[in-house]
Copies of this chain bind each other. A is one copy, B any other.
């Protein structure tokens, strides 16, 4: 067994370039850059001159078969993640796919099904925000039952303002055929993952999605969703790319408490002394009267804890790379198994489909219908091939 994983980076764009730099600077102790692939000659030249000893390829399949890499990361447009993941795994190469795992569930299912036939290989996904200790702690609190069964979730997350120039940077961006969506596939996938990682998978969604609302783009720049978790539990998710004064506020209300997360930095955890229903049922008429006269203090019914962590932002990505490599080297459990990637894609697909049909859509959605609707939009856009 080698002591360092040789990572092949497919696509030296913003993300791929950042990972290369992190590994080169030693931020991922159990990883080295095995090779780099990019179809753009300028990027290859840059790679060659920056990382002198690293082999550089034009074709990623050639890199996969070179013997230079033990694993790859797919920092390429979203549509390509599944096929590249499968190509790597089928050649005995470990695969770390970028988020989102793909654009539509059908292609992600293929990836997951193929990966399941290769249990000896490591299959991960870059959900770096799972590496945020604040969200890890919140997941622990929720899973331990400290705030009880979840009643509702509310996440307003609009802290990613994107001016028109961002969308005009490249031809594939914010197109149906090149990117497969807007804020749902580009900015919010981490929250789609965290929400389900912490609070579970909803049963259905109803969504209002605004396409090219305040930007000159074909895809969505604003999303409003009602989530139904079943058994009376509900939630709301709101996101947009046109809010300069962004809001990031996440509330989780449970039978025994409430967590309020501000700016993904501070969590205020309120723990009730008993189950809320029990407090409600056992309060005497006299106490209820006192309450309405302002003489009963509800604050005596719960404790409040504030949780804050300070940690460099970059450590999230390098942490996922390190955890992925550790899983390969010694079986350390994966923080973000690749097969989890389908949850966010499925939720995004259901949200799109609900907005297109004006109906509530089950998470167990009609995948053929989704792909058909997506292809209708790709066709009328006329810039990229339809998807199968």
Pair B224/A164 contact, Cβ less than 8 Å? no
Map CB proximity to B onto A240-256 as digits: 1 under 8 Å, 0 otherwise: 10111101010101010
- Cα distance, A280 to B166, chains bound together (Å): 9
- A165 is an interface residue with CB less than 8 A from chain B: yes
Q: Contacts of A284 on B, CB cut-off 8 Å?
A: 165
- Cα distance, A76 to B83, chains bound together (Å): 67
Number of copies: 2
Known: A224-B234, A226-B208. A244 touches B301 (CB 8 A): yes
Q: Contacts of A302 on B, CB cut-off 8 Å?
A: 244-245
Residue in B234, B251, B255, B277 whose beta carbon sits within 8 Å of that of A222 in the complex = B234
Pair B161/A298 contact, Cβ less than 8 Å? yes
Known: A244-B276, A258-B245, A270-B245. A165 touches B234 (CB 8 A): no
Q: Contacts of A298 on B, CB cut-off 8 Å?
A: 161, 244
Say whether chain A's binding surface is mostly helix, strand, loop, or mixed: mixed
Known: A156-B251, A214-B151, A242-B151. A165 touches B285 (CB 8 A): yes
A211: nearest residue on chain B (CB-CB)?
Answer: B232
A296: nearest residue on chain B (CB-CB)?
Answer: B163
Closest chain-B Cβ to A17's Cβ sits at a distance in Å of 13
Known: A152-B222, A164-B280. A258 touches B243 (CB 8 A): yes
A354: nearest residue on chain B (CB-CB)?
Answer: B206
Residue in B163, B234, B260, B288 whose beta carbon sits within 8 Å of that of A279 in the complex = B163
- A145 is an interface residue with CB less than 8 A from chain B: no
- Cα distance, A158 to B242, chains bound together (Å): 28
- A215 is an interface residue with CB less than 8 A from chain B: yes
Residue in B224, B253, B285 whose beta carbon sits within 8 Å of that of A226 in the complex = B224
- Cα distance, A214 to B231, chains bound together (Å): 11
Map CB proximity to B onto A207-226 as digits: 1 under 8 Å, 0 otherwise: 01010011100000010101
Known: A208-B226, A224-B234. A285 touches B244 (CB 8 A): no
